Amino acid sequence: MKATRRRSRYRYTSLILVCLALTSPSVAGEVASQDVLTFTLIEAVELALAVNPQVLSVREKTEEFSQLVREARAEALPELTAFLSWRKTRDPGLRNSNSPFFKTIDPNDFPPGAFDAFFFTNYVWNIEARQPIYTFGRVSNAMAAAREERGGVNLDVQGLENQIALNTVRAAYAFLLAQDNLRVLETERDARERQLDQVQTRFELEDATKLDLLRAHVALANLQPEILMADNNLQVALASVNTTLGRPIDAPIEVLAELGIENPVPRIMRTEALLEIAGQHRPELRRYAVDRRVLDARVGVTKSDLLPQISANAGFGVNTFGASNVSDLALHTWNVGVSFDWKIFDGHRVHSQVGALRSQITQKEYDEHAFRNELSVNLKRAGGTWIRSLESLEVTRLTVEQAREAERVSEESLKWGAATSLDVLQSTASLRQAELNQTTAAHDALVALAEMKFLVGYRADAPNSVIEVPRSVLGGDHTNEEGEEP
């Protein structure tokens, strides 16, 4: 009865909202923009990767390092420079203050104008060309460092995409868990309302006590805070998913997935085998090797500062005092030659820089070792969560069936006076707890599965086969425990 009244209230509320939408253009536009977005986990990950600003920023870095490769290559290519100059000059001439031997000079041997200041203009244009002949590894090492760093940026992109994919999958599973928990509590509320109606009827027939009626009222009222909290958790999960997807936080969504483990249950490799896969696919681990190669190349670039630099130089131009002669090639000048530069001693600056780079290489090795240790712990933790969640899921499936049957029996017994209202309330609470345990176990198992994919270097929405024991290895009759390596 109360459920019918509640559905009626919902209908009236919906009718009022529709009327408001029809009478208010702004509200109508807002409601129209809040279309339900339906997506699978794979579609959610693709959408998140397409709009995430961090991913877009790191992807743009690949273009930056492509230009750095060209920049490093430029040192091996010819360099052409054009020079043009115009200069106005005043010369003071042979004045007394301008020549210490002025008194020894016979004025009759010089024209009078020689002792006066004079002005002249100089016009110069020149084209210089320079071509490195041999740089003792400077250019080749610089290009190698730029190429390696560009590959490292691609690994950074992959690692960030894997992290965003894991965050998206976690948010989607959290949304499904909150949705299922709210459904369980609403189902229990319907059951308690039905039980309250039964106790009310029996009380009116003087077949139940006032205590039974009060107990049923209190049980229904105590459930409301839990429903409100579950609804709030659902709204928070909705906001988390929408934030990941770059949508308004309250935009409605529908996730086309269930909190359940597929059959047959995936047989996950042991930690040692997963670590081997991570060594080949985990972007962060591969990045350490790239960083060391980049530092090795930088060592070569730095060492080249103390090695000779051989280059060819050539120039051609005109130097004249008259503007009309600027294009007169009869007044041209030219030069050609080979330069050999060798810095013999620099105060140990290069040796210090090389030592610092080698220290950074050693630090990268230590960092990689620490990362591998942490990865091993995280894989062990995720594998343990997966196994425990599967065991809990198997137990809760049977528990839910038994609790559902116990609730049915207790309600039937209550009708005939063979059970009390307290028995019914306890059976309903037991069913609620069993269903919540079941959804939580399924959620934890799926999240652990997604985390293991991420830890070995795959996206969380990748197929389970990437971390499963190959079926060809298992054979026909071989049965091993979940998480066991063949």
| Domain-embedded: residue 314 | no
| Domain-embedded: residue 13 | no
User: Tell me: the pLDDT tens digits for 356-386?
Assistant: 999 999 999 999 999 999 999 999 999 999 9
Read off the pTM. 0.76
| Domain-embedded: residue 452 | yes
| Domain-embedded: residue 344 | no
Contact 236, 249 (CB under 8 A): no
- How far apart (Å, rounded) are the C-alpha atoms in residues 143 and 310? 19
Query: Which DSSP helix (H) or strand (E) runs through 351?
Result: helix 349-415
Contact 164, 55 (CB under 8 A): yes
Please provide the average confidence, as pLDDT, over all residues in the chain.
Answer: 83
Query: Look-up: residue for tokens 């004045």?
Result: 95
| Domain-embedded: residue 184 | yes
| Nearest in space to 447 (alpha carbons), one of 439, 483, 283 | 439
User: Tell me: the pLDDT tens digits for 17-49?
Assistant: 334 333 344 333 443 446 788 999 999 999 999
Give residues with Cβ within 8 angstroms of 414, minimum separation 6. Answer: 195, 198, 199, 202, 420, 421, 423, 424
User: Tell me: the pLDDT tens digits for 196-218?
Assistant: 888 888 888 888 888 888 988 99
Residue 484 confidence (pLDDT) above 90: no
Lowest mean per-residue pLDDT among 3-7, 179-183, 442-446? 3-7
Query: Look-up: residue for tokens 């594998």?
Result: 383
Question: What's the burial of 33, exposed, middle or buried (CB within 10 Å: 0-12/13-18/19+)?
Answer: exposed
Residue 475 confidence (pLDDT) above 60: no
Range of the domain at 45: 35-72+138-302+349-474
Contact 436, 396 (CB under 8 A): no
User: Tell me: the pLDDT tens digits for 125-143?
Assistant: 899 999 888 888 788 888 8
CATH number at residue 280: 1.20.1600.10
Quote the number of domains for the chain: 1
Sign for the pseudo-dihedral over CA of 155, 160, 163, 164: negative
| Domain-embedded: residue 342 | no
Contact 158, 287 (CB under 8 A): no
Q: What length is written for the chain?
A: 486
- How far apart (Å, rounded) are the C-alpha atoms in residues 453 and 162? 9
Q: Residue 8: its pLDDT value, please?
A: 40
| Domain-embedded: residue 12 | no
Chain centroid to Cα 289, Å, comes to 20
What torsion, rounded to 10 degrees, do the Cα atoms 413, 415, 419, 420 define?
150
Q: Residue 15: its pLDDT value, please?
A: 35
Contact 270, 379 (CB under 8 A): no
Q: Residue 61: its pLDDT value, please?
A: 80
| Domain-embedded: residue 78 | no
